[in-house]
């Protein structure tokens, strides 16, 4: 009877535990780790010295991976992110609860985790379309590390895209806040998922640590956004870059 039942179960039901663990893991590593690195690199726009110079240097270091960069990005970031997001939507729309995690917490955070996941999904699609080379075929992908003459335009093109319209910076602010909340609250729930914080007291302690982490990462993200919003695109400060050239080499 039990054998018959297990035969009639689909792949998702049979491996439900493993799939949920992979969902949790993918949110932490690589997606969560990438988010932290990404926001730290962006925050280098705030470092003193020639405006945008440190940001340019940080992005140059990433692009030094050369032909390895694209496969690393696709396999190491986009595929795990797509897996996490698609399964996230499946969890949301099939209303699978994780009441265990929220037994001692609030229902509000349970709802916020799902809401911020959906906001993050929309924001990430918009952001990738607007800046990443993947969006180039669809009229986006306008971040350019160098222009055609080889001049450094990383900070400049980012600032131009953020300053293009008055609504772009607020959209980024909402996207950053939602995504960082999702990660910080997700770290808190994942500590329960992985059996690390079991007692209510330990979970409370982890709650304080995750809140502090979330606030610090939000400040870093919003600080970077403000740096690009205030970047003087008229002064062409980065290696004599032209403000008119956004469609350039990536």
Where does this chain bind ligand HEM (CB under 6 A)?
Answer: 24, 27-28, 31-32, 35, 84-85, 88-89, 91-92, 98, 113-114, 117-118, 120-121, 179, 182-183, 186-187, 189-190, 193
Per DSSP, which regions of 131-238 are E strands?
none
Nearer to ligand HEM, 34 or 133 (CB): 34
Distance CA 39, CA 67 (A): 23
d(CA 244, CA 241): 9
**Shortest approach of ligand HEM to residue 37 CB, angstroms?**
12
**Nearer CB in complex with ligand HEM: 91/233:** 91
The burial class, CB within 10 Å (0-12 / 13-18 / 19+), for 157 is buried
CA distance 172 to 128: 12
If the CB atoms of residues 31 and 161 are measured against ligand HEM, the closer one turns out to be 31
Beta carbon of residue 211, minimum distance to ligand HEM (angstroms, whole number) = 15
CB-CB contact of 39 with 218 (8 Å): no
| Structure letter (DSSP) for residue 44 | G
CB 145 within 8 A of CB 154: yes
Tell me the C-alpha distance between 62 and 181, whole Å: 26
| Comparison of 73 and 242: residue with beta carbon closer to ligand HEM | 73
For residue 183, the minimal CB distance to ligand HEM (Å) is 4
CA nearest 210: which of 233, 237, 226, 190?
Answer: 190
Query: Cβ of residue 103: shortest distance to ligand HEM, in angstroms?
Result: 13
Name the residue nearer to ligand HEM (CB basis): 121 or 155: 121
Min CB(249)–ligand HEM separation in Å? 27
Nearer residue to ligand HEM within complex by CB, 49 or 195: 195
Tell the smallest beta-carbon distance from residue 147 to ligand HEM (Å): 30
- Rounded Cα distance between 227 and 220, Å, is 10
């Amino acid at each position: 009877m039990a054998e018959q039942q297990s035969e009639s179960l689909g792949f998702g039901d049979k491996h439900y535990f493993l799939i949920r663990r992979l969902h949790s893991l993918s949110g932490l590593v690589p997606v969560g780790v990438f988010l932290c690195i990404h926001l730290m690199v962006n925050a280098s726009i705030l470092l003193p010295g020639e405006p945008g110079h440190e940001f340019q240097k940080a992005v140059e270091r990433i692009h030094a991976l050369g032909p390895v960069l694209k496969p690393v990005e696709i396999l190491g970031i986009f595929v795990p992110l797509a897996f996490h997001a698609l399964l996230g939507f499946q969890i949301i729309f099939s209303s699978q609860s994780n009441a265990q995690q929220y037994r001692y917490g609030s229902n509000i955070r349970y709802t916020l985790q799902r809401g911020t996941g959906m906001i993050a999904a929309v924001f990430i699609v918009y952001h990738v379309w607007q800046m990443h080379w993947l969006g180039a075929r669809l009229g986006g992908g306008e971040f350019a590390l160098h222009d055609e003459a080889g001049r450094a335009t990383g900070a400049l093109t980012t600032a131009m895209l953020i300053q293009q319209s008055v609504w772009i910076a607020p959209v980024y602010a909402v996207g950053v806040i939602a995504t960082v909340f999702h990660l910080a609250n997700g770290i808190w729930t994942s500590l329960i998922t992985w059996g690390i914080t079991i007692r209510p007291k330990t979970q409370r302690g982890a709650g304080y640590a995750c809140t502090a982490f979330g606030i610090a990462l939000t400040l870093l993200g919003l600080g970077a956004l403000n740096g690009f919003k205030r970047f003087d695109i008229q002064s062409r400060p980065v290696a004599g870059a032209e403000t008119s050239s956004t469609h350039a080499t990536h």
